[in-house]
Chains A and B, each alone.
Chain A
């Protein structure tokens, strides 16, 4: 398989949130490092899954790549050109090719505006004229996302969750992005609606030649949609590689536990030691060295002293763990089929 070219790349990206001084008389609170040194490459035409639990920094990373959150250090390259280190407005302007679909479609759309006007807004901002051309584009896009022309005159409250996702997609696709960041594109949707939205997302990628960064905590969705995935834990990528390789043979203990914990369509048989205890530490008080060591069954004294670098475990498969060579390979636990209980 020939390697596809990289179109969006982050190198050693650091993002700090907060830390601004609120008042003259109070000292500033220490900022939280939501993203603490992430390197990531999105290739032309692929869907890269960004997986992690709440608070791991996956949404912040997405917003920073988009250009609405400023990076504290590191570099972002779009088509090989550096687009980081810019003032917010300029950063966004240089990254026009990247668009973002908000995870809560209902909250992201103005309830007072008709669907047609909501979709058209982006075109107006982009200076597309005349109005007739805009209307034609809106009509074509409504059809492309599977909504009838009648939706043009409807309002947000009249639409179901799945329809709102389609509107949110139509809205940004009109701006002809090449890269779309999908933040939890099916959270809160019913299973039958999720299936149709996922299919639409996959179809649009092929039809419009898009590349996706898909942020999700749902491993079943990610396994289905993504060629490659990156697993985040507390601001760092702990493992990244082809989806198939990671699901077949996760090497990082966190990935192993995460894959084992995810609910599936049949009862899961878990070997002991694969159920994580406790909760992630606060990002305000990160442990030294490997951030996962406080919950890791394989933690050793060395893990507190050194930050594990990403090392190649197999072709294109990288893992950030000092002990990964000693940890047994633990494929996703097998399922008990329903046959025995039928």
Chain B
């Protein structure tokens, strides 16, 4: 019996093994079709990641608002209003006439009014849009100062003692409370049964 070196013999035996052309073609096709194979995996992966991320975000948001730093009501209103103002979202109704704007806000359970603390005489009313303050539907009226060109927002919503407690009421002789947020001053007060919040650039 012919004998060979173990290494050589094993090497020759293994190297004699070869895939048939049919199997090779199947493996080549597998690689060519990778783009067709992968999408379902990817889509499934992305959906799982997206769903998981959404759950985490909702959870963290809930925890933040329920267990997070216990900000005072005026701080929360100030932050919310300042953030909303800074975004300068497109106006839903553009008019310099308050009556026209009042007619637009049909979904509110109050009528937007002028405040004794905000004299629009030196300002131009640009328009308004719906928004919300602490989950209560509100109106945002946007003004432009005729002299400085500064854009201001006056927010109004129904004053609810259940939601908005401990806020200064003009009728009781109290002064607006001022909150600083996002580089803005936000004055907050209650007047004629409405909650007002006015943004102003810090002087």
Answer whether A and B are interacting partners: no
A residues adjacent to B (C-beta < 8 A): none
